[in-house]
Amino acid sequence: MKWLEITVRTTPEGLEPVSEIFVDLGTGGVVIEDPALIYNLALQKGPEEVALQAGAAPPELLSVKGYLPVEPGLEERVEQLRNALLALRLQPSPEISTRELEDADWANNWKKYYHTTKVGEKLVVKPSWENYIPESGKVVLEMDPGMAFGCGTHPSTLLCLKLLEEVIRGGEIVYDVGTGSGILAVAAARLGAARVLAVDMDAVAVRVARENVELNGVAGTVRVVEGNLLDSVERPADIIVANIVADVIIVLAPTAASILNAGGLFISSGIYQGREDEVGAALAANGFTVLDSRRDGEWTAFLARL
């Protein structure tokens, strides 16, 4: 199958509304390329680690990418995207570019930059095509993101993984909202959760997540379903994790509060800088107490208790 890669160049302020337009269009998720992360890394590591031109300023624009199948009706969907972007009235106006890709192109691009990564104290995220001999006590997550978001190296995903590692004691019921590649659901199961429900509205993400669940031998613990947010749940949970965007977390907060057991935990991530107060207020308004706020670059995650 061929896919149309749509790239929108915008400011940090435009990140969330542009991402939401992609999701509403049916992409299921987005890929974010933020050159400022490289700039910040250069400042931390020094010129001997990362080349940084003297006096250089951090890049002002980032890229948001979404993928749509090349099929009848594609032109209308792209035009819908353009109109929605114009309606945002962002300044400067977002720049749009497109190119066609094969499934294989996506996979090969991931494999160039995706390598085994240690997360927190115990977790190790390993691409399925790499060899890795685990150290004693390490919990290995073997992943192939395919056409779905969530390889474990994005700051918002790393924050979720670290928090899951800290709060799962064993035997919990966990819901993963917007599962993408399934990495958080797999992590919850491998860390000892008794049952995990992983939900995504994108059929491709559901397929990829199921494949990763099988790859990690946790099919008996993790159930992956196609659905919207928490519409598919049938029983209360001990932990809900949602690595999405601020506006969706705000909408999700009342439902999360109604589904969690008393004392249950809500891990929310994908919150871009400047939106923390809004999300915190929504959590508080629905009976949550924020126990911890973690930041990685321009991204924030909350750990809240009901």
The model carries a pTM of 0.70
More confident residue, 3 or 128: 3
156 phi, psi to nearest 5 deg: -65, -35
Q: Find the mean pLDDT for residues 84-112.
A: 78
Residue type at position 275: R
pLDDT tens sequence across 10-61:
887 788 788 888 878 877 667 777 665 544 444 444 444 444 444 444 456 8
Residue 82 CA to residue 176 CA, distance in Å, equals: 31
pLDDT tens sequence across 124-153:
988 877 788 878 889 999 887 655 455 667
Least confident of 39-43, 199-203, 266-270: 39-43
Residue 8 CA to residue 295 CA, distance in Å, equals: 25
Please tell me the class of the 2-108 domain: alpha beta
Query: Dihedral sign, CA of 294, 295, 296, 298?
Result: positive
For residue 25, the number of C-alpha atoms closer than 13 Å in the C-beta half-sphere is 28
Give the largest Cα separation in the chain, rounded.
57
Contact 252, 242 (CB under 8 A): yes
- Each domain of the chain, given as residue ranges in start order, spans 2-108, 114-305
Residue type at position 89: R
Round to the nearest angstrom and report the end-to-end CA distance of the chain.
44
Q: What is the mean pLDDT of the chain?
A: 84
Contact 116, 143 (CB under 8 A): no
What CATH number labels 114-305?
A: 3.40.50.150
* Nearest alpha-carbon partner for 178 in 261, 275, 95, 248: 248
